[in-house]
């Protein structure tokens, strides 16, 4: 396949959105930051249609949600509509780990892909710097016994790094001499799992960002009262570090249409959606905004509906459910797939029986979307190994799931031409009035919210909350945080907590082993099963396939 065309100057892309030079600050030739006050200046413009892209439970290599999101936006532009994808920035952890780059692929990619996949505009570095500054200030505050006092055993703020480094999951700090930090056990999470990342994605403006940072709870005082980032004097400096990171990033697709890339929380261990600010600005500029949620409808889409839309006040018009032949065959439970290794040849061979055996997974994800009152359109993302008979069978199955429509997508090979059928289906679905409603109310107790998500989204028979997690939830309620939404961290490979729970698992209870408070982000955060907030590298990391030559040409990214 020939390479993508060279990117256009970013000012030319801004002009396609009707933006003036004062509205964008170029960061190099091909990427830019939007002006900090742009949303206010666009407030009188009508809002475009709001399209969410989600998926079924994936294989470890992913099913092409980003590719479909980019291709769908390009196809809508091809039909004469101005469409903008609002996507998350890739984390270096999966880029150098298992999945590789996150800027799309083939004829449905973002430009400049290398910069987007790597340091980009520095947003992730700013998040890590702000997060780790708070960690250092907490240790300093506690070690010097400053007021308000923090009980050392109650400190819940860990550190972050944007690399899969399992050796840092549990560490001991305070080994220096003379000691300025307490000798205590702590650890590292991925930057994408940071509460600061979640805050940046959910903040509505600079004032809201500053207020959310101030509300971060870092520990408990001797009187049992929460101690916040504001109380130890850290929130202001954190906001200073994040000032520019709050501004959405403008890039382009390989067909030179506009795209936003901003914030990057994971869908399995965080809320999994791009920024509210980016979506709001895009909705004032475009006819259609295509925003992608992390992993399947059980992960990113549920959090899109119950957390992001609750905060933003935005109502989605339609949700696209991406599925693939290979992922549905995997959901039959007949194949062994190991993360970090190529998919087995037998999974890629034509197998209509296994395809049919896995289709309950697609049906479940369509039902999740419809449970929120939003119409679903199934996008069948075509891969080279798919046989015509498999694609036709999957189209037939998709039409029987209750979805509003279904279309085969081949934007990877054909660009916007391969997404026209999907674009037309989504446009039709957007014209259908929907009854969007969230799954639970904030008046419900944390346990009631957990139970509703587990039963109605995952298909569980209920939840089993370990004693430590139950005590934490009770304490959060006592402290006045019981009204917050719930963010469940769990495996992306199954509707259940078990990565091997293929298809549509039944007869299980969702085990909750840990509960954390994200007061600044505005949700309670629970860990289900064996999900990790600091994964390790696979046996052969993607980084081993990357290199650069003397001319600066990058390969393997």
pLDDT in tens, 186-233: 999 999 999 999 999 999 999 999 999 999 999 999 999 999 999 999
552 burial type by CB count under 10 A (0-12 exposed, 13-18 middle, 19+ buried): exposed
Taking residues 242-248, report their average pLDDT. 98
Q: Which residue in the block uniquely carries the two structure tokens 């109310």?
A: 441
pLDDT of residue 99: 63
Stated as kind and residue range, the H or E segment containing 193 is none
For the chain, how many structural domains are there in total?
2
Judge contact between 109 and 255, C-beta under 8 A. Answer: no
State percent of the chain over pLDDT 90: 84
**Of 171-180, 252-261, 292-301, 408-417, where does mean pLDDT reach its minimum?**
171-180
Please report whether residue 98 resides in a domain: no
pLDDT of residue 62: 87
Please report whether residue 96 resides in a domain: no
CA distances from 5 to 106, 117, 167, 348 (A): 11, 18, 41, 31
**Using 50, 70 and 90 to split pLDDT, how confident is the model at 3?**
low
Non-local (6+) Cβ contacts of 8 within 8 A are: 30, 252, 256
In a 13 Å sphere around the CA of 444, the CA atoms on its Cβ side amount to 15
Please report whether residue 428 resides in a domain: no
Phi, psi of 350 (to 5 degrees): -60, 130
Task: Tell how far CA 472 is from the center of its chain.
Answer: 26
The domain spanning residue 457 has which CATH number?
A: 3.10.410.10
pLDDT of residue 375: 97
Please report whether residue 165 resides in a domain: yes
Please report whether residue 402 resides in a domain: no
Structure-token pair, residue 64: 């092409």
Q: What is the pTM of this model?
A: 0.95
Residue of 340, 331, 252 whose CA lies nearest to 494: 331
Phi, psi of 399 (to 5 degrees): -65, -15
d(CA 125, CA 184): 26
Q: Which residue in the block uniquely carries the two structure tokens 């018009």?
A: 317
Stated as kind and residue range, the H or E segment containing 514 is strand 510-518
Task: Among 219, 241, 263, identify where a domain stops.
Answer: 241
d(CA 542, CA 545): 6
Task: Among 241, 262, 279, identify where a domain stops.
Answer: 241
Give 273's DSSP letter. B
Give 129's DSSP letter. H
Give 22's DSSP letter. G
Please report whether residue 423 resides in a domain: no
Structure-token pair, residue 364: 């479940």
Sheet strands (E) in 88-196: 104-105, 108-111, 159-161, 171-173, 184-186, 188-190
What would the DSSP string read from start to end of 228-259?
ETTTTT-HHHHHHHHTTTTSPEEEEETTS-EE
Taking residues 65-73, report their average pLDDT. 97
Tell me the per-residue pLDDT of 408-467, one tens digit each, with 9 for 90 and over: 999 999 999 999 999 999 999 999 889 999 999 999 999 999 999 999 999 999 999 999
Tell me the per-residue pLDDT of 5-56, one tens digit each, with 9 for 90 and over: 899 999 999 999 999 999 999 999 999 999 999 999 998 999 999 999 999 9
550 burial type by CB count under 10 A (0-12 exposed, 13-18 middle, 19+ buried): exposed
pLDDT of residue 1: 44
Non-local (6+) Cβ contacts of 80 within 8 A are: none
The 3-state DSSP class for residue 501 equals coil
Please report whether residue 112 resides in a domain: no
Task: Among 188, 208, 241, identify where a domain stops.
Answer: 241
Please report whether residue 224 resides in a domain: yes
In a 13 Å sphere around the CA of 300, the CA atoms on its Cβ side amount to 29
Taking residues 341-360, report their average pLDDT. 93
**Using 50, 70 and 90 to split pLDDT, how confident is the model at 338?**
confident
List the domain range (segments joined by +) for residue 510: 446-528
CA distance from start to end of the chain: 16
pLDDT of residue 102: 80
**pLDDT exceeds 50 at position 381:** yes
Structure-token pair, residue 351: 């197998």
Residue of 253, 207, 277 whose CA lies nearest to 34: 277
């Amino acid at each position: 396949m020939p390479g993508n065309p060279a990117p256009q100057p970013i000012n030319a892309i801004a002009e396609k959105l009707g933006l003036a030079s004062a509205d964008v600050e170029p960061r190099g030739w091909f990427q830019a930051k939007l002006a900090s006050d742009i949303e206010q200046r666009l407030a009188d413009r009508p809002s475009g249609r709001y399209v969410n892209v989600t998926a079924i439970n994936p294989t470890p290599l992913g099913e092409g949600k980003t590719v479909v999101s980019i291709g769908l936006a390009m196809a809508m532009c091809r039909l004469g509509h101005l469409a903008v994808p609002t996507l998350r920035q890739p984390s270096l952890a999966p880029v150098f780990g298992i999945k590789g780059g996150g800027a799309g692929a083939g004829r449905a990619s973002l430009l400049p892909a290398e910069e987007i996949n790597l340091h980009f505009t520095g947003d992730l570095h700013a998040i890590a710097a702000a997060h780790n500054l708070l960690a250092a200030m907490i240790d300093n505050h506690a070690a010097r016994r400053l007021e308000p006092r923090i009980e050392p055993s109650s400190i819940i703020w860990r550190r972050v790094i944007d690399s899969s480094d399992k050796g840092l999951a549990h560490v001991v700090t305070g080994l220096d001499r003379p000691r300025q930090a307490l000798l205590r056990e702590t650890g590292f999470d991925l930057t994408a799992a940071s509460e600061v990342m979640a805050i940046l994605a959910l903040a509505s403006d600079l004032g809201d960002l500053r207020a959310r940072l101030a509300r971060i709870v870092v520990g408990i005082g001797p009187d049992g009262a929460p101690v916040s980032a504001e109380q130890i004097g850290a929130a202001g400096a954190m906001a200073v570090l994040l000032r520019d990171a709050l501004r959405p990033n403008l890039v382009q697709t390989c067909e030179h249409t506009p795209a936003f890339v901003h914030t990057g929380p994971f869908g399995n261990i965080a809320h999994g959606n791009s920024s509210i600010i980016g979506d709001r600005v895009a909705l004032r500029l475009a006819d259609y905004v295509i925003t992608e949620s992390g992993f399947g409808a059980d992960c990113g889409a549920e959090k899109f509906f119950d957390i992001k839309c609750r905060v933003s006040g935005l109502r989605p018009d339609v949700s696209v459910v991406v599925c693939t032949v290979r992922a549905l065959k995997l959901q039959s439970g007949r194949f062994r797939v190991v993360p970090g290794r190529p998919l087995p040849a037998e999974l890629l061979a034509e197998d209509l029986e296994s395809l049919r055996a896995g289709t309950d997974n697609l049906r479940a994800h369509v039902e999740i979307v419809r449970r929120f009152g939003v119409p679903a359109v199934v996008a069948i993302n075509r891969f080279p190994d798919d046989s015509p008979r498999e694609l036709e069978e999957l189209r037939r199955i998709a039409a029987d799931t209750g979805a509003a429509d279904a279309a085969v997508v081949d934007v990877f090979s054909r660009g916007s031409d391969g997404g026209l059928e999907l674009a037309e289906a989504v446009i039709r679905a957007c014209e259908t009035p929907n009854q969007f409603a969230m799954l639970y109310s904030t008046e419900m107790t944390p346990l009631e919210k957990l139970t509703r998500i587990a039963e109605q989204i995952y298909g569980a028979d209920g939840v089993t909350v370990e004693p430590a997690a139950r005590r934490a939830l009770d304490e959060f309620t006592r402290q006045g945080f019981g009204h917050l939404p719930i963010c469940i961290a769990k495996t992306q490979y199954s509707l259940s907590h078990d990565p091997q729970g293929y298809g549509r698992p039944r007869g299980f209870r969702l085990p909750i082993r840990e509960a954390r408070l994200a007061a600044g982000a505005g949700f309670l955060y629970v860990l289900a099963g064996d999900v990790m907030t600091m994964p390790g590298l696979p046996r052969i990391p993607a980084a081993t396939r990357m290199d650069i030559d003397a001319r600066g040409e990058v390969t393997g990214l």
